[in-house]
């Protein structure tokens, strides 16, 4: 009987650990059942979250039972916890967007409610440690927060392909190839650039823009140039 009970406990622990590991690689996850103690309103707001980086940090703001549940959901070796807490309209909402980048960037958005009732709001999120996050007032946090001040600008002359297809749709649909290296081109909603890309398909072009890296599924690393200008290489040569 003792051996059977020990095996049962081991299975529960194994299941809990597996559950944590399964979520640890997600950029962000809301912990809807995590409830910090009442003092959280002194340490967090809707614009400035409380940042918890360890079990010791969490123990300062969660009661014993809540702390046990939190530890079952968060791996502090790979994740941090953000706690937003404020009092406002019952219709107040806090949402987030995950921006396309690698590591991912998370942008939180606060929507003020219209009702005049006063309610408490607590939002708890687990974020992967290398994710950059931006609070509703625009403040940037995260270990890689300085990345906003870093960039790579490139100029590439090569052959344009504006008819690219890829498994799972992992492509912007446009690439430039130079010296055997191909980079994707991101044109955004710029109609003039898209018209130029269609016209210059298969030709030599000169592209200028910012280079970034994005993690994919079928394609592990995608290098993408966010294009500022795209011109016919021959026209550039003629103008010189």
Give the closest residue to 140 by CA, choosing from 109, 169, 106, 173.
Answer: 106
pLDDT of amino acid 8 = 44
> Which residues touch 60 (CB under 8 Å, ≥6 apart)?
none
Structure tokens at 180: 């055997």
Statement to judge: residues 137 and 164 lie in one domain: no
Last-in-domain residue among 147, 173, 203 = 147
> Which residues touch 136 (CB under 8 Å, ≥6 apart)?
46, 47, 94, 108, 109, 110
> Is 125 inside any structural domain?
yes
Statement to judge: residues 66 and 170 lie in one domain: no
pLDDT of amino acid 239 = 47
Q: How far apart are CA 190 and CA 198, in angstroms?
A: 13
> If you ran DSSP here, which 8-state letter would residue 211 be given?
E
Enumerate the β-bridge partners of residue 178.
Answer: 181
Q: What are phi and psi of 189, to 5 degrees?
A: -100, 20
pLDDT of amino acid 100 = 74
pLDDT of amino acid 4 = 54
Enumerate the β-bridge partners of residue 126.
Answer: 29, 81
How many domains are contained in the chain?
A: 2
Statement to judge: residues 99 and 125 lie in one domain: yes
Statement to judge: residues 135 and 161 lie in one domain: no
Alpha-carbon distances, residue 199 vs 30, 166, 187, 193 (angstroms): 46, 21, 14, 10
Per-residue pLDDT tens listing for the chain (240 residues): 545 554 444 444 444 445 455 567 899 999 999 999 999 999 999 999 999 999 999 999 999 999 999 999 999 999 999 999 999 999 999 999 998 776 788 999 999 999 989 999 999 999 998 898 989 887 788 654 544 556 788 999 999 999 887 655 678 889 999 999 999 998 877 788 989 999 999 999 999 998 887 766 667 678 899 898 999 998 855 545
Last-in-domain residue among 147, 178, 195 = 147
> Is 33 inside any structural domain?
yes
Range of the domain at 39: 27-147
Statement to judge: residues 45 and 87 lie in one domain: yes
> Is 11 inside any structural domain?
no
pLDDT of amino acid 2 = 45
Statement to judge: residues 182 and 128 lie in one domain: no
Q: How far apart are CA 210 and CA 224, in angstroms?
A: 8
> Is 115 inside any structural domain?
yes
pLDDT of amino acid 141 = 81
Statement to judge: residues 133 and 158 lie in one domain: no
């Amino acid at each position: 009987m003792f051996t059977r009970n020990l095996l049962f406990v081991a299975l529960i622990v194994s299941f809990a650990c597996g559950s944590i590991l399964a979520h640890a690689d997600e950029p962000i996850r809301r912990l809807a059942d995590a409830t910090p103690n009442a003092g959280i309103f002194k340490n967090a707001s809707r614009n400035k979250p409380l940042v918890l980086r360890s079990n010791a940090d969490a123990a300062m703001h969660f009661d014993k039972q809540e702390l046990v549940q939190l530890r079952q959901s968060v791996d502090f070796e790979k994740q941090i916890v953000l706690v937003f807490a404020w009092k406002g309209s019952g219709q107040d909402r806090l949402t987030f967007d995950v921006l396309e980048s690698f590591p991912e960037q998370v942008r939180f958005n606060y929507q003020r409610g219209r009702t005049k009732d006063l309610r408490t709001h607590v939002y708890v999120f687990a974020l992967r440690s290398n994710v950059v996050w931006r609070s509703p007032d625009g403040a940037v946090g995260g270990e890689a927060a300085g990345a906003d001040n870093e960039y790579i600008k490139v100029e590439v002359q090569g052959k344009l392909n504006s008819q690219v297809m890829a498994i799972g749709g992992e492509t912007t649909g446009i690439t430039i190839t130079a010296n055997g290296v191909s980079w994707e081109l991101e044109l955004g909603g710029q109609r003039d650039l898209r018209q130029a890309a269609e016209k210059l398909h298969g030709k030599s072009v000169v592209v200028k823009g910012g280079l970034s890296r994005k993690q994919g599924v079928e394609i592990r690393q995608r290098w993408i140039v966010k294009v500022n200008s795209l011109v016919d290489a021959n026209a550039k040569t003629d103008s010189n």
